Amino acid sequence: MNTNFYVSTEKTKLDKNVIIDFLQNKSYWAKTRSRETIETSIENSFCFGIYTLKNKQVGFARVITDFGVFSWLLDVFILEEYQNKGLGNFLLQEIMAHPDLQAIKRWGLGTKDAHGLYERFGFTALSDPGIMMEKINK
């Protein structure tokens, strides 16, 4: 656990401007999403923000889930100036350990460049190589 940062699922804490800026200007996967689309996706997802102790948001992830069978992990990022400090691992640990997500049997996600991070949490490539990965809990 990193004592200089914390993770919260409180949507009222999310800095939508930080999230929108990152997704539209710094991500490879969401550059064409409108502000409205990003706001709608946040409203309809289980969201995780990662913050400094002074409540500055430095990362984000969201989960689309039915809370019983399936979850899809999306829009995971750590702001560039906070990368390489283990915060991606910390964020994923908090997501995967969240009590409301423990019944999930199958997780999915898409990534072009972070396979190593997700493999640490049990995700594996699908039989059809590409950007898709899945995790099946038994």
For the four alpha carbons of 14, 18, 21 and 27, in that order, the dihedral sign comes to: negative
Quick check: 1 pLDDT over 60?
Answer: no
**Which pairing describes strands 46-52 and 5-8: parallel, antiparallel, or unpaired?**
antiparallel
Q: What is the pLDDT of residues 83-111, one digit of tens each?
A: 999 999 999 999 999 999 999 998 999 89
At 127 the pLDDT is: 66
At 76 the pLDDT is: 98
Whole-model pTM? 0.89
Q: How many domains does the chain have?
A: 1
Q: Distances in Å between the alpha carbon of 28 and those of 5, 31, 54?
A: 26, 6, 29
Phi then psi dihedrals of residue 67, to 5 deg: 65, 10
Q: Distances in Å between the alpha carbon of 53 and those of 5, 62, 81?
A: 6, 21, 16
**Which pairing describes strands 132-136 and 124-125: parallel, antiparallel, or unpaired?**
antiparallel
**Arithmetic mean of pLDDT, 8-32:** 97
For the four alpha carbons of 25, 31, 36 and 37, in that order, the dihedral sign comes to: negative
Quick check: 135 pLDDT over 90?
Answer: no
Q: What is the pLDDT of residues 43-82, one digit of tens each?
A: 999 999 999 999 999 999 999 999 999 999 999 999 999 9
Phi then psi dihedrals of residue 130, to 5 deg: 160, -150
Which CATH number belongs to the domain containing residue 13 in this structure?
Answer: 3.40.630.30
Least confident of 37-41, 122-126, 129-133: 129-133
Q: What is the residue range of 12's domain? A: 5-136
